[in-house]
Amino acid sequence: MINSKNDEMAAGSVVTATDFYRYRYLGFHIIPDSRGEKNAVFRVLAPNARRSFLVGDFNGWQESHPMDKKDGGIFEIFLPASVLQHGQNYKYKITTSDGRELYKADPYAVFCESMPATASKIFLSEPYSWQDEGYIRNRKRLFSEKGRNIPLNIYKLCPFFWKNLTDYKNLADELIPYLKQMGYTHALLTFVAEGVRDGTRACETSSFFVPATGMGDPDCFRALVDAMHGAGLGVILEWTPAGFALCEHGLSGFDGTPVFEGAQIGENGSMPFDLKSSATRELLLSNAIFWLEEYHIDGLSCDVSQMLAGNREDDVFSFFASLNGKIHSEYPDVITIAKSRLTSDGVTDSVQNGGLGFSFVRDRRLENEILSVCDLARDAKLAASLHHGICALSDCESFAGRLRCESKERFAASRLLIFCMMLSDSKKLTFSGSEICSLGNAENRVEWECLSGEASLHKKHQLFVRDMGDFYLSHPVLWQEGGVTQENICKEDANLSRIYRVCGAYKEMIAVINFGIKKADDVLIETASATGYKKVFSTALSVYGGSEQKDDTVYFAKSANGKNYITAELSPLSAYIFEPCGDG
């Protein structure tokens, strides 16, 4: 990678273990010498190795390029840049203290072979010409003015399985107009770093600085991010610092000793990182900054609970406090998202106040408390939002598939859940397939073929999600700081219906939800004024798969006992939004 900042760092002295830009020193770089000639430098940390050779296509994989051992356990070699070509493969041949020979990929490589091949690759490219200056400038302005009070409607997907597209260019051509049409603001991309895949969405990272090569080289991935930004869409990475793939060429036993890993093998055959290790911390902290600097990523999402599985709580908290402190001081317009089974206390508090410093924390309670119990008429309610929460629907299995309902009820329940998510005080995150109410399959892939035919309930559900997303973005009260209050409105059976008042400076907005499987007649809805109200949104419209037609009726408020009310009928498993229309 040719980058003036990286070249300057690579030519300098050893950076400290706490430096967040370690990737600019270790790995492969092109640097000028005192005469202006270009040289290549390779550096690798192998503190307990007896010796190391650079081997690759350029020397027939022979031991003709021994590396010098420097202070801090770093091996280094300089070569004339002219002997290297773009795309050549290389590894480090490391001799351990007990005489074993290991062929290891470069932990800081920015390009590599596609699995199952395992070599690192020389990446020689002119600096990428970014076209997103306007987007970045606007992102900085937005965060400066609004902080965390920004619209976030995040679509989570795995690039390798979304519609089975073959490269980053095709992904950009298909995904960007789809996200814009559906009212999403950001894409959360999973498993972007190169890793060992098992044919499903599962992946264990093996090369932390390499965008997965199966869909293109690093500049192809930059072009995807650039195109997303050009369309006004943000890109968030699901960052996986909990562990790494247990493979012969990887980080495990890198120099014959555990340089990076903890003591036990984790789930799915992965190896947890040891956060007490300075090698681990500098690799992970610099890797996070790498994605922000080199790929203009707008945010990182990571699982704190996975980190806790292999490390002491204090080490995990110290790591994330350091990371978030750095990001929010140097990149205040970048967001970080925590996925954690822990209480939210302190997760989104600032590092200065003793917190972990995450921008947002994921909140699965809406799905778990309402729809996963599959009994919507029993104590159904909107869960109170976590402070700075992101309401997240299931991303490990189809939430629609978890509902023990008849087909049409399942679609109505899914619409109800998404409505509740949009109404909640949290930001929004859904996984690919939820917008079409996909039931998933054995491989957990989205079955896009279910959209065929205009009468398809899946297609109607997709239309509902599109309109709901547009409604969310066009009503700032739903994503700026405000208030949502709840009260029972159906006195005969308080478990059936709920009213939510969304407080906005511009006008009153009332949401009414029927969680029951029966129609609710003549429901009294208290209003703030004696005026006319219109139903501006309904989940029960026939175009969405319900039974109602669009209703332009003006509901006139009536006064009783010093209060104002309108009366409405609520279809089963349905939700509505009423707004004053000024007639009365």
The answer for residues whose C-beta is within 8 angstroms of residue 554's C-beta and 6 or more apart is 532, 533, 534, 581, 583
Least confident of 92-96, 324-328, 338-342, 460-464: 338-342
- Token pair, residue 498, equals 């709920």
Using alpha carbons, select from 288, 254, 290 the residue that is nearest to residue 271.
Answer: 254
Q: Quick one: pLDDT at residue 1? A: 47
In CATH, the architecture of 4-121 is Sandwich (2.60)
Cα dihedral 420/426/427/432 (nearest 10): -40
Question: What whole-number distance in Å separates Cα of residue 46 and Cα of residue 29?
Answer: 18
CA 495 to chain centre: 35
Alpha helices by DSSP H, 152-277: 168-182, 218-230
Cα dihedral 271/273/276/279 (nearest 10): 110
The 10s digit of each residue's pLDDT in 385-398 is: 677 888 887 655 55
Largest CA-CA distance found in the chain, in angstroms, rounded: 94
CA 312 to chain centre: 25
The 10s digit of each residue's pLDDT in 54-85 is: 999 999 999 999 999 998 999 999 999 999 99
Please state the rounded mean pLDDT for residues 341-362.
Answer: 83
Token pair 């919507």 is found at 376
Helix, strand, coil percentages in the chain from 3-state DSSP, rounded to 5: 30, 25, 45
Q: What phi, psi does 245 have (nearest 5°)? A: -65, 140
Pairing type for strands 335-339 and 89-95 reads unpaired
Token pair 């990001």 is found at 327
Question: What whole-number distance in Å separates Cα of residue 215 and Cα of residue 537?
Answer: 40
Alpha helices by DSSP H, 404-456: 407-423
The 10s digit of each residue's pLDDT in 240-274 is: 999 999 899 999 999 999 999 976 655 556 789 99
pTM, full prediction: 0.92
With b for 16 or more beta-carbon neighbours within 10 A and e for fewer, the 114-147 pattern comes to ebeebbbbbbbeeebeeebeebeeebeeebeeee
- Token pair, residue 211, equals 């965008």
Please give the share of the chain, as a percent, with pLDDT higher than 70: 82
- Which helix (H) or strand (E) segment holds residue 560: the answer is strand 558-560
